[in-house]
């Protein structure tokens, strides 16, 4: 196997190979071409529907999902397929295209990786201590997210943009994903140290953001 275009870690390579398979399937030829997950969703028989098209939601539920609860969900797939075998996916309309792309890719990956959904969703605590519902076991959730992220931001393409001295914001715009996703990819691909070296001016800003976040969290916990 040609390992030149694969990330250095064992796990990273396993995810990358699957992600490259998906990019190939989507007809992408260049390593830095952006992926359109809506096309893959079609092959995965996932029908993405508009939040406004969901019938039967009470006004209260709708308000909760788009109001105070808007950060608690990113999207999901219906567990029961339609009579024609397709399944419905709903994406959080307040999250914007970049975050929706990552959410949809995760759902697409669950299908392509052959993950079996649990009949009852698993309820667990996430890293922030929030209760979250999962439709798959933890290992499958991790794999679907990681492969989806690698398909959207492949190692070789990411490295090419890095060598061109692009910032993570520019890379995010290029791949139609969030800056957070690009930075996550830089880290798991072990390109983060080089990125920081190339963009020393961002270190101070990052430190400020980190402190502001820690301070906000403290206020939050005192309430
Ligand atoms: Zn998932």
Phi and psi dihedrals of 124, rounded to 5? -145, 175
Considering only CA atoms, which of 186, 190, 220 is closest in space to residue 206? Answer: 186
Percent of the chain having pLDDT more than 70?
91
Sheet holding 87-91, edge to edge: 46-49, 87-91, 75-77
CA distance 72 to 60: 16
Q: How many angstroms does the Cα of residue 201 sit away from the middle of ligand 1? A: 35
Query: What three-state secondary structure class fits 9?
Result: coil
The pair of structure tokens assigned to 16 is 């990358």
Look up the pTM and report it.
0.86
Around ion ligand 1, which residues have CB less than 5 A away? 106, 141
Tens digits of residue pLDDT in 129-181: 655 566 788 899 999 999 999 999 999 999 999 999 999 999 999 999 999 99
* Residue that wins the pLDDT comparison between 26 and 135: 26
**3-state per-residue secondary structure call for 141-204:** HHHHHHHHHHHHCCHHHHHHHHHCCCCHHHHHHHHCCCHHHHHHHHHHCCCHHHHHHHCCHHHH
Q: How many angstroms does the Cα of residue 80 sit away from the middle of ligand 1? A: 15
What are the structural domain ranges in the chain?
Answer: 10-190
Q: How many angstroms does the Cα of residue 108 sit away from the middle of ligand 1? A: 9
């Amino acid at each position: 196997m040609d390992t030149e275009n694969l990330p250095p870690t064992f796990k990273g390579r396993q995810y990358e190979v699957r992600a490259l398979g998906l990019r190939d399937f989507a007809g992408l030829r260049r390593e830095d071409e952006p992926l359109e997950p809506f096309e893959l969703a079609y092959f995965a028989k996932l029908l993405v529907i508009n939040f406004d098209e969901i019938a039967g939601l009470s006004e209260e539920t709708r308000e909760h999902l788009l109001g105070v609860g808007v950060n608690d969900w990113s999207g999901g797939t219906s567990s029961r397929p339609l009579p024609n075998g397709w399944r419905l996916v709903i994406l959080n309309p307040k999250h914007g295209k970049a975050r929706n792309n990552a959410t949809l890719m995760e759902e697409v990956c669950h299908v392509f990786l052959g993950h079996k959904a649990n009949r009852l969703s698993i309820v667990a605590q996430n890293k922030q201590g929030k209760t979250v519902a999962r439709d798959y076991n933890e290992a499958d959730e991790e794999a679907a997210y990681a492969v989806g992220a690698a398909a959207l931001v492949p190692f070789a393409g990411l490295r090419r943009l890095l060598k061109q001295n692009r910032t993570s914001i520019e890379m995010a715009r290029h791949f139609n994903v969030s800056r957070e996703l690009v930075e996550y990819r830089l880290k798991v691909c072990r390109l983060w140290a080089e990125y920081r070296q190339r963009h020393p001016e961002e270190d101070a800003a990052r430190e400020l953001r980190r402190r502001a976040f820690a301070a906000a969290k403290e206020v939050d916990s005192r309430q």
